[in-house]
Amino acid sequence: MAGLGVAGMLAAGLVLGRSFDGTVIPDSMPPGAGIPLPAIDINAPGRTADLLHDWAAKQASYVKISVYALEAYGYAAAVMAETRPKCGIKWTTIAAIGSIESQHGTFPPGTHIEPNGDAVPPIRGAALPDDYHLTDASAAEPPRDPPRAKGPFQFIPETWRDYGVDANGDGKIDPDNIDDAALTAARYLCIKSGDMTTAEGWKKAIHSYNGAGSYLRLALARASAYSVGTTVA
């Protein structure tokens, strides 16, 4: 569904153990839930993720994630808890994917997340292989530019077409918006796994996003670090 990500190769060799600040990182699978989310109305108007500002601000400096990105991850987990409660996905896992794919919308250098959740400038991966094709019968002619993975979660066009959602109520389904991308990623993982509260279910979900063993290990390391309020990179 996605490659290793524009940032993932930077730390593909990480293993569980201790964080840079000496915090012991748990090695359980699935990783822990982290700081619990406060109750919010997931259907509130506007950018509902803003309701999680205080929750995000309290831990942003410890986990090295911007408040806007953390709000998006928390909101995605809150939505899934209500709409797919049996899945059990936690914000820590969503954050781990966002970290691998684009360093939470900050890679390549100079990229950042705006208050509305947009990644600026838009994040684009390398051109997809020549044998990749977007199966869209409505397409009258091939695109002028080669297809690329897009946004903070590096969705390929076909996957975004099938799973993309509008998470912030702006009427757009935009892979370059971290709210939309985080909720789409959470929804995708839950659909592919069904139950992420077990080790096998969690592993199945991550492998559906990227089948590499190094990706699984890195996702576990990052999510586990976030669960205890720190980071491994």
pLDDT at residue 195, as a whole number: 96
pLDDT at residue 10, as a whole number: 37
pLDDT at residue 19, as a whole number: 57
Domains of the chain by range and CATH? Answer: 8-37+47-127+147-227 (1.10.530)
Cα 192 to Cα 121: distance, rounded to the nearest angstrom? 30
Is the dihedral angle over the CA atoms 195, 200, 202, 204 positive or is it negative?
negative
Per-residue pLDDT of the chain (233 residues; tens, 9 = 90+): 654 454 443 333 344 555 556 778 888 999 999 999 999 999 999 999 999 999 999 999 999 999 999 999 999 999 999 999 999 999 999 999 999 999 999 999 999 999 999 999 999 987 776 655 554 444 444 555 678 899 999 999 999 999 999 999 999 999 999 999 999 999 999 999 999 999 999 999 999 999 999 999 999 999 999 999 998 85
Q: Tell me the whole-structure pTM to 2 decimals.
A: 0.87
Burial class (CB in 10 A: 0-12, 13-18, 19+), 3: middle
Q: Is 73 helix (H, G, I), strand (E, B) or coil?
A: helix
Residue 81 region, left (φ>0) first, then alpha (ψ -120 to 50), else beta? Answer: alpha
